[in-house]
A = this chain, B = another copy of it.
Amino acid sequence: MTIKPRSDVASSSAEAADTRERILLEAARLLRHHGYAATTLREIADAAGVKAGSIYYHFESKEEILGEVLDKGITIVADAVRTRIEALPANASWRDRIAAGIEGHLWGMLHYGDFTSANIRVYGQIPTSAKNHHKIVRRAYADYWDRLFESALASGELRQDTGLAMIRLFVIGALNWTVEWYNPQRGSFQDFARQITAIVFDGILTHDKV
């Protein structure tokens, strides 16, 4: 029996994977700017440098592409957050952990804007089947933040006159929306993250401290 040269297999599958990745990338960009219904498979194919029919070799349907773009939008951010928090020393304060989480969340949101903006823009406007599947990924990420805030509350570092879910929804929502107005030309990302964190932690008013 003959065995196909490995280089052939690797090359062919690598190219296929590459095409698949390109389709996802362009799909994210188009979903972000035109929404789900207005984004056509012909447009995606054009942008990815293939013909519309070829998409069906890589994906089963338009909805499957949507699902992968949505999931990627969350996992990119979630991974960035977890990486930064786990890199902190074991005795880090909850304040420091939340700060690291905010920095990671912002970094993911702003450096993968097509995936993250597409996610928050189209999530409210997609078929319920796609929504139900993607909900699970969202729920897991929300739970991660809830545990973080819960610990901060128990340690006395978080304000206690406001509901925990409310703090999470408000903060994550506010951070998410930065992708819609962040302008990299107005300063470094590090400065941006520092300023956002300061507002989230201490608010917009001046305070007399002890």
A: residues with CB less than 8 A from B are 32-38, 95, 117, 121-122, 124-125, 156-163, 166-167, 169-171, 173-174, 176-178, 180-181, 186, 195-196, 198-210
B122 touches A171 (CB 8 A): no
Q: Are B204 and A167 in contact (CB under 8 A)?
A: yes
Q: How many copies does the complex hold?
A: 2
Give Cα distance in the complex from A38 to B160, angstroms: 43
Interface SS majority for chain A = helix
Q: Whole-angstrom distance from the CB of A188 to the nearest CB of chain B?
A: 13
Query: Is A203 within 8 A of B202, CB to CB?
Result: yes
B198 close to A200 (CB less than 8 A): no
If A173-B178, A201-B205, A203-B199 touch, does A33 touch B161 (CB 8 Å cutoff)?
Answer: no
Question: Which of A174, A186, A204, A206 has the most B CB atoms < 10 Å from its CB?
Answer: A204
Given A177-B173, A178-B173, A203 and B206 touching (CB < 8 A)?
A: no
